[in-house]
Amino acid sequence: MPSVAVKLYSVFFKFMLKHRLQNRTQIPLDDANADSSFGVTSRPDEESIAASNPSFTDGVATKDIHIDPTTSVSIRIFLPETSLGSPDSDLRAQSKSTAKASARLLDSLPGSSPRRNSYGAATTDNVTDNHYRNSFNHRRNSYGCNVDDLASKSENGVYRGYSPGGKNCRKLPVMLQFHGGGFVSGSNDSVSNDFFCRRIAKLCDVIVLAIGYRLSPENRYPAAFEDGLKALYWLAKQANLAECSKSLGNTRGGADMKKSDSHGHIADAFGASMTEPWLAAHGDPSRCVLLGVSCGGNIADYVARKAVEAGNLLDPVKVVAQVLMYPFFIGNVPTHSEIKLANSYFYDKAMCILAWKLFLPEGEFDLDHPAANPLIAGRGPPLKRMPPTLTVVAEHDWMRDRAIAYSEELRKVNVDAPVLEYKDAVHEFATLDMLLKTPQAQACAEDIAIWVKKHISLRGHEFSY
């Protein structure tokens, strides 16, 4: 069972959440739609915000970008420091530090893995423990590129990025991350989300793009889903702009370039670079992973489906996998966990239904809405075309059964779709502010990294340790 501290904090958390949701319902519809064209992506009065930091003070540099002038949609980029140096030397150092941390974590566990069960994978608890130890102690470099250990930094240590046409860069996979909050709260730059994304960026060795999508009820469905897809198309545009910039740099001299800046970037009419240098230098969009937390899992699944339907229109972006962490799924016919755990910790079913009422448009509230229930017929595209999907669920979460059922449907059509279930865990056990530093949250992030590396490895179907 969860600790006494978790239980007490859950009571306080639910009281505050209920108060906030009720306040949202009392906002007049005209006021909610007053700024619908722009919207809000965070509520600073409800949670602490972490400032971006373009220096590698803790192994990850961050910067904020506003990607759409017509809305408030923004992105926080998390760039791991391993992108600067030689892959071999950096990964050897990272392997040693990660192996020590993993060994300490495993030794601290009371004789059992923090993961209670796994579905869709032939793995026992003992084998899994040994796998963690061996995988982190024998990590191999899978990127296969030779780059010099050179960084473009200003005098104050702030990383500026390479020229897109430069050779001194290491390409990393790109992960789009969608935060939780029931569509009505949360943000991509909150302290808790910043901490989680830094952890994932370092463990997975990827560039994380945390998406700041518009919140409801100011912007109801499908605003958040469209914002997620907009971020994916923005990534594709950035990749194409970087390729154009590289071509310009190879065909023109610096003095002859009329539509590019001094570094070879495509520039707009005011001379500002349109290419994001961190992504142009280090991003590999052909290895794109989606990760969604709670309601962010719904957005990630929607973006994955639209990416499948778009096909080559998204080139060079290719979604190779997605991670759904306790997705915010529901339906009209309750599952066993929805009945048994309806009053579970932090997010009980009644409050989540209220969140859905605030998110779905007026007159369209239905728990079998395509955004809410992944198992309804005709949702499209065919499940067999979906990317590999890892699902994380918690033992004491009323949403767990429907997430497991969705994973089972994916496995029926031969999609790699394992489920990791964590014992004595609650909803958002790996991403909630007070639980982020627990051994279980750390173990969950490491489990995700192990699975993700299988699908982003350039060597093919093997782990990139």
Residues with a catalytic annotation lie at: 294, 397, 427
> Rounded to an integer, what distance in angstroms lies between the CA atom of residue 446 and that of residue 205?
12
User: In angstroms, what CA-CA distances link 454 with 81, 89, 143, 296?
Assistant: 21, 21, 13, 22
> How far is it, in rounded angstroms, from Cα 336 to Cα 405?
11
Contact 51, 230 (CB under 8 A): no
| CA gap 416, 461 in Å, rounded | 12
Pairing of strands 283-293, 172-178: parallel
Task: Kindly give the residue spans of alpha helices, DSSP state H, lying in 252-294.
Answer: 277-282
- Would you call 206 exposed, middle or buried from its count of C-beta atoms within 10 A (0-12, 13-18, 19+)? buried
Query: Which residue is it, tokens 């918690």?
Result: 394
- Tokens for 69, please give them: 């002038």
Coil, helix or strand at residue 210: strand
Using CB atoms within 10 A of its CB, is residue 169 exposed (0-12), middle (13-18) or buried (19+)?
Answer: buried
Residues 6+ apart with CB under 8 A from 236: 285, 314, 315, 316, 317
Tokens of 106: 């495993």
> Per the structure block, which two tokens stand in for 89?
């030397």
Question: What is the helix (H) or strand (E) element at residue 222, kind and residue range?
Answer: none
**302 token code pair:** 């929607």
Whether the link from the prior residue into 217 is cis, omega within 30° of 0, is: yes
Between CA 293 and CA 295 the distance in angstroms is 6
Residue at 342: amino acid letter: A
